[in-house]
Amino acid sequence: MEALFAVLGGWLLLGEHIGIKEMIGCSLMLAGMVVSQWPAKRKRQLAAQS
């Protein structure tokens, strides 16, 4: 999440321009972080049910 906050801070506080390449890159990084968390959460739920 650090990269997401860095981009938002640069855009809001410093007035930096965010192009389409940067937006695609941020979206891919965010999607990767979300997907990487899915299996761990599911494993915990399965372990709790057993």
Model confidence pLDDT, tens digit, residues 7-47: 888 889 998 888 999 889 888 888 888 888 876 656 666 66
Q: How confident is the model at residue 49 (pLDDT cuts 50, 70, 90)?
A: low
pTM of the shown model: 0.56
| Residue-range domain boundaries for the chain | 21-50
- Better-predicted residue by pLDDT, 18 or 50: 18
Cα 6 versus chain centre, distance = 12
Dihedral (C-alpha) 17, 21, 23, 28: value to the nearest 10 degrees? -150
DSSP state of 50: -
Evaluate if residue 6 carries a pLDDT over 70: yes
Residue 4 confidence (pLDDT): 75
Give which of 11, 14, 33, 13 is closest to 22, Cα–Cα. Answer: 11
